[in-house]
Structure 1
Amino acid sequence: MPTDQTAPPAEIAAPVTGYRLLLPDQWAQIPLRHSTEGAVHRILEDAYTRIPKDAPPDKVGPYKRELARRFRQAVAQAQQTKGLDLYLPVKPMGEGEFNFSLGASILVSESLLPRRSGANGAGEPTDVAVQLLSRDGTEGADLSSGEIDSSLAVRREHVAAANPDRGVELPSRRVEYIVSVPGDPNRWFVAAFSTIGGGNPRDELAEALVEWFDAVMANFRWRRG
């Protein structure tokens, strides 16, 4: 009798329902798709409880107000970009430290853009990056491509100039990862990291933070239903 040569159906991956970033607990997540006030209030109240008990009373009030001002400003700027989530480092690195730095951030968003087709019918990663990222007029960026969690990914790194008119007093080092969403070639996940380093976007602290963010993205994973 002839044998059945029909191959078993390939396993269909579950659709993507979200993403996962592994971040230290010093980083707080602020969802931007809905009202942020509740999340902002909880994060700030938690930060206030970490102020040392022996901190000078005449400095605590101004410190709280400045932290809240800078934190809310960062959230407001992120909302203007129609992002999905904002991550900020709002907890001290050690016990008893009276030092909360907002000198870095991660903004997660989504872009819709069809892939261009080349002669072989495949989209060129750097071509996609130019389409996605040339809208802001940035030139001389460092572009590279590869895969993250089996998805096409493009990485861009550049230094953005200060813009006092928009409340940006210092230049910043920026690294963006643009990752194709599985099952939907027109959708692109974007994770944009920004840091002022120690005041110089090319200093050792900035270099270390960029390496750290690259490690975070190396461990990026999709959530599936």
Structure 2
Amino acid sequence: MAEPTSPPTGYRLVLPSDWVQIPLRTGDTERTVRDVVAAAFARVPADVPRDKPTPLRLELERRLLSAVADARRAKALELYLPMRLAGEVNLGASIIVSETQVPSRSSVNAATASASDSAEIAGQLMSRDDGTDLDLSSGEVDGALAVRRERIVPAAADRGLELASRRVDYLVSVPGDPGRWFLAAFSTIGAGNPQDDLADALVEWFDALMATFRWSWA
């Protein structure tokens, strides 16, 4: 397939209907997050004591609001959250989409950047290992070079994170714009353990979701 001469103007993901997209640059994002969490926990069966899901609800809300704050600092584009999940009370997951510039060491400036720079950057990313990675690999997403990183992020009570989380990042080079990368960052606490069966299933789901990723041009 020929290399695009102009960068894409957007992207598409085939999301299930029980996930909601929250734009981070407009509207009252914090209120939307609280509404999403309230809607999710409104599905608690009547025979479940009201105080039982409260810690999970508060933890989920803290994590999602923290994710919103982090995403805004990183100038992220969208946040995706589960809104309805039949048979489950708390999914405890999110997806943050953003863009980033990752310059290669060989490029003097943007005018000299080439497709080879994307491969060099991918190699640099693959060489970063802080000891927490469960998996670090490279491949392609819709024909573009991509790096996938999976890791466990420990709990940090000082930052309001009472539970550890499982993180999976897809960093995808933007066609026609070397140095510019698309980032989809997935996070889940599973059912309270980032390496439990629910977390495993959600990571598999996210990998399947990224297989539906397509660039779009206006």
TM-score normalised to structure 2 length: 0.75
| Aligned equivalents of 1:53, 1:170: Cα separation in 2 | 22
User: Amino acid of the residue matched to residue 25 of structure 2?
Assistant: R
More relative contact order, 1 or 2 (CA 8 Å, 6+ apart): 2
- Pairwise mapping of residues 1-225 of structure 1 onto structure 2 (< 5 A)? 15-37=7-29, 40=32, 44=35, 48=39, 51=42, 55=46, 59=50, 66=58, 69-70=61-62, 71-93=64-86, 99=89, 101-117=90-106, 122=116, 123-124=119-120, 126-130=122-126, 138-141=130-133, 142-225=135-218
Post-superposition shift, 1:53?
A: 11
1:178-218 deviations in whole A, cap 9, x for unaligned?
Answer: 00011101110000111111211111111111111111111
Contact 1:40/1:72 (<8 A) preserved: no
Change (3 A) 1:68 1:13: same
Contact 1:110/1:187 (<8 A) preserved: yes
List gaps (5 residues or longer) in structure 2.
Answer: 108-114
| Aligned equivalents of 2:36, 2:148: Cα separation in 1 | 35
For the aligned residues, what is the CA RMSD?
3.6
Q: SS in structure 2 opposite 1:16?
A: coil
Q: How many correspondences in the alignment?
A: 203
Sequence identity of aligned pairs in percent?
52
Change (3 A) 1:183 1:72: same
| Aligned equivalents of 1:152, 1:196: Cα separation in 2 | 28
List gaps (5 residues or longer) in structure 1.
Answer: 1-9
